[in-house]
């Protein structure tokens, strides 16, 4: 399953232009609200120089990168949680995503209308966040209404625990705070996980600015406002120019690198968004390499070797014996598995081994 992110924001902030860029597809990006009337889903490969290097060394029949899935939904407006505009049907499209990318307009352009009549990123953020909060509040209150009587009447232990944590979340939502602001332990998180609360998901603010300012985001007053707001929420902000991202998507890697150099930008907005998503979701990558296939696999930091084996196939985890492991840095330097063995860099790891980002693994199993 690819990682997933929902792209949200007010109409005409650049969501569909960004979606066009990151998926190299052509959803409609018209200059009027609700140009996107069905959720658009696209999957993009996650660039990884380690996979590229392994392909150089092993010359595999197949090279497979990890993927990231983006869902672009219609522009939300005030009252979306109550059915205004195209409403709640679109909020439901992002309930199952891993993270939310909130695109915020940080540029002035008289030719592109703003649904609120002016450019004000903090107001726009408040509108979207409030709609997400109201949608979650409705979900939480509906659940409390169903379970509270059972909890009180039957003194059901599980129902009492669920009711207690939902009431704490409802209190925060009523105060205009996101569900993620509530301090929950692991058991409490499991209790509310199935509700897929929108404001429980980590959020990345994507500040969409002009071509002239993207090389120096700090010069953009709107961006500085968004950055300050994101820091208060312990969220991340990524500066992009959606127009430039769309142009980059049409270029090959060499042309793209030259274009970025000319603009004075180190990496594309897409790469920054993906890196931020991996960081906030606490994700890493392990690799497998051989003549048949070189491949990247995503896992949660802290997972042990058998769990990572299960990422490839459940049989690998069920019959796990050991993992033969070495680091990407070692193969990058020594350039062959034979040299890895000669240098004593090949390790045999058991069930308690905590897999590290960049590990190259070969699993031994028996079922």
Q: Cα-flanking dihedrals φ and ψ of residue 68, to 5°?
A: -130, 130
Least confident of 32-46, 230-244, 348-362: 32-46
Cβ atoms within 10 A of the Cβ of 367, count? 10
237 DSSP β-pair partners: 205
How far is residue 12's CA from residue 117's CA, in Å, rounded to a whole number?
11
Q: pLDDT, tens digit, for every residue of 130-139? A: 989 998 999 9
CA-nearest of 222, 292, 297 to 2 is 297
Least confident of 3-17, 107-121, 176-190: 107-121
How far is residue 317's CA from residue 221's CA, in Å, rounded to a whole number?
51
Structure tokens at 138: 């409705």
Is residue 37 pLDDT above 50, yes or no? no
Cβ atoms within 10 A of the Cβ of 179, count? 25
- Per the prediction, the chain carries an average pLDDT of 86
Least confident of 23-32, 231-240, 254-263, 301-310: 23-32
How far is residue 153's CA from residue 331's CA, in Å, rounded to a whole number?
63
Give the dihedral sign, CA 253/46/313/325: positive
In this predicted structure, what is the pLDDT of residue 223?
95
Q: Is the distance from CB of 21 to CB of 270 less than 8 angstroms?
A: yes
Q: Is the distance from CB of 349 to CB of 326 less than 8 angstroms?
A: no
C-alpha distance from residue 20 to each of 25, 27, 160, 278 (Å): 5, 6, 47, 21
In this predicted structure, what is the pLDDT of residue 3?
82
Q: pLDDT, tens digit, for every residue of 311-335? A: 999 999 999 999 999 999 999 999 9
Q: pLDDT, tens digit, for every residue of 49-100? A: 999 999 999 999 999 998 888 888 765 556 555 555 444 556 777 788 899 9
Exposed / middle / buried, residue 61 (Cβ in 10 Å: 0-12, 13-18, 19+) = exposed
Cβ atoms within 10 A of the Cβ of 16, count? 25
Q: Is the distance from CB of 299 to CB of 325 less than 8 angstroms?
A: no
In this predicted structure, what is the pLDDT of residue 28?
47
How far is residue 352's CA from residue 307's CA, in Å, rounded to a whole number?
10
In this predicted structure, what is the pLDDT of residue 87?
47
Is residue 38 pLDDT above 70, yes or no? no
Structure tokens at 6: 């929902």
Average pLDDT in the 21-49 region?
Answer: 62
46 DSSP β-pair partners: none
Listed in order, strand segments (DSSP E) in the chain are 3-8, 40-45, 62-64, 67-72, 99-105, 203-208, 236-240, 283-288, 293-300, 320-327, 347-349, 359-365
Higher pLDDT, 260 or 34: 260
Indicate the pTM of the whole model: 0.82
Tokens 């205009």: give the residue: 176
In this predicted structure, what is the pLDDT of residue 301?
94
Average pLDDT in the 8-13 region?
Answer: 85
């Amino acid at each position: 399953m690819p990682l997933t992110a929902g792209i949200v924001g007010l109409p005409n902030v650049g969501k569909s232009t960004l979606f066009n860029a990151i998926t190299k597809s052509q959803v409609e990006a018209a200059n009027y609200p609700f140009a996107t009337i069905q959720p658009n889903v696209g999957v993009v490969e996650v660039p990884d120089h380690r996979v590229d290097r392994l392909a150089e060394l092993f010359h595999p029949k197949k090279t497979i990168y990890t993927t990231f899935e983006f869902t672009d939904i219609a522009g939300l407006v005030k009252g979306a949680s109550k059915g205004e505009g195209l409403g709640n049907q679109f909020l439901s499209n992002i309930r199952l995503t891993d993270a939310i990318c909130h695109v915020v307009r940080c540029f002035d352009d008289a030719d592109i209308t703003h649904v609120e009549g002016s450019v004000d990123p903090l107001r726009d953020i408040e509108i979207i966040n409030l709609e997400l909060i109201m949608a979650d509040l409705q979900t939480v209150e509906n659940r409390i209404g169903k379970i509270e009587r059972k909890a009180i009447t039957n003194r059901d232990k599980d129902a009492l625990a669920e009711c207690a944590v939902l009431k704490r979340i409802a209190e925060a939502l009523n105060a205009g705070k996101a569900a993620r602001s509530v301090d929950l332990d692991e058991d409490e998180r499991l209790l509310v996980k199935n509700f897929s609360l929108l404001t429980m998901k980590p959020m990345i603010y994507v500040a969409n600015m002009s071509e002239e300012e993207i090389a120096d985001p700090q010069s953009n007053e709107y961006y500085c406002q968004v950055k300050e707001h994101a820091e208060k929420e312990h969220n991340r902000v990524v500066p992009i120019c959606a127009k430039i991202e769309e142009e980059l998507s049409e270029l090959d890697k060499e042309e793209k690198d030259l274009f970025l150099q000319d603009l004075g930008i180190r990496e594309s907005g897409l790469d920054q968004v993906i890196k931020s998503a991996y960081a906030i979701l606490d994700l890493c990558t392990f690799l497998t390499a051989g003549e048949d296939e070189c491949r990247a696999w995503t896992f949660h930091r802290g997972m042990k070797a058998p769990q990572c084996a299960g990422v490839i196939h459940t049989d690998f985890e069920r019959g796990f014996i050991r993992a033969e492991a070495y680091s990407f840095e070692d193969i990058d330097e020594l350039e062959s598995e034979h040299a890895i063995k000669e240098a004593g860099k090949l390790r045999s790891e058991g069930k308690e081994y905590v897999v590290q980002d960049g590990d190259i693994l070969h699993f031994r199993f028996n079922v």
